[in-house]
Structure 1
């Protein structure tokens, strides 16, 4: 089997974990210096800049991530059909640079900073118990 056919087969038949790794995108120079990593998996909420293609130079926020297409949809980038309907344009993650990260995921941030995410402190929710009301006995 030719190497190109083998590579295409591996991409097409990839499992979810491999597909997730294929959603990686380069980090900007300042983020690269800060975290010491060259690339990161793109998630919703990241700010990106498009490097190649029709929308080159456009900055935006990731609105949807498609593991099936190995690409992302960006807020504000849409194309129009002949009937006037608008639809999202999906751009492959290899054509993007991440300019700022969505920091809501503690596991992801621990991995980026080089810490072991399994040792993260567990958030303990302290639930306030309702105060016990004393029962008054009826004196008759």
Structure 2
């Protein structure tokens, strides 16, 4: 039953399953053992053909629940190169992409809605109407 749930999961659920283990120093810094990987994170491959390779995540596939890493490619018989996707359980995250402010606030244990100023909130229709009326009154003066 468990395997069937994993393989038939929606893409939203699969996205949540794409966590990667943090390195020891990041574990001490953030107090967490794993994090959802995003593009730009630096990782080291722990298992498989490319064991020991370091690189940044270039692509993420939620359908395959795996990631493509810069510099990890295979060659076809015609000579074309293609990305090799590696499952996130075979990786360890060595440094984080800090461009996502929401993610960094969550890692540091803060409430992201209070600490992130880039996130825009939708206003209710009544608030929007009131703002329009105020702007009209200011323009008429």
Report the TM-score, using the length of structure 2 for normalisation: 0.81
Find the counterpart in structure 2 of residue 24 from structure 1. 19
Partners of 1:72 and 1:31 in 2: CA distance: 20
- Give SS of 1:111's match: helix
Question: Once the 2 structures are TM-superposed, how far is the Cα of residue 121 of structure 1 from its aligned partner?
Answer: 4.6
Find the counterpart in structure 1 of residue 96 from structure 2. 101
Report the TM-score, using the length of structure 1 for normalisation: 0.81
Partners of 2:3 and 2:48 in 1: CA distance: 22
Find the counterpart in structure 1 of residue 5 from structure 2. 10
CA contact (8 A) 2:58 2:67 kept: yes
Deviation larger for 26-35 or 112-121: 112-121
Gaps of 5+ in 2: 120-141
Question: Once the 2 structures are TM-superposed, how far is the Cα of residue 16 of structure 1 from its aligned partner?
Answer: 2.9
Higher helix share: 2
Question: Once the 2 structures are TM-superposed, how far is the Cα of residue 13 of structure 1 from its aligned partner?
Answer: 1.6
- Give SS of 1:69's match: coil
CA distance 1:88–1:117, shift in 2 (3 Å): same
Find the counterpart in structure 2 of residue 131 from structure 1. none
State yes or no: 1:50 paired with 2:53.
no
Task: Count residues in correspondence.
Answer: 119
Find the counterpart in structure 2 of residue 86 from structure 1. 81
Find the counterpart in structure 2 of residue 72 from structure 1. 67
Q: How does 1:116-131 map to 2 (within 5 A)?
A: 116-123=111-118
Partners of 2:46 and 2:95 in 1: CA distance: 15
Find the counterpart in structure 2 of residue 37 from structure 1. 32
Question: Once the 2 structures are TM-superposed, how far is the Cα of residue 123 of structure 1 from its aligned partner?
Answer: 4.6
Partners of 2:57 and 2:108 in 1: CA distance: 22
Find the counterpart in structure 1 of residue 139 from structure 2. none
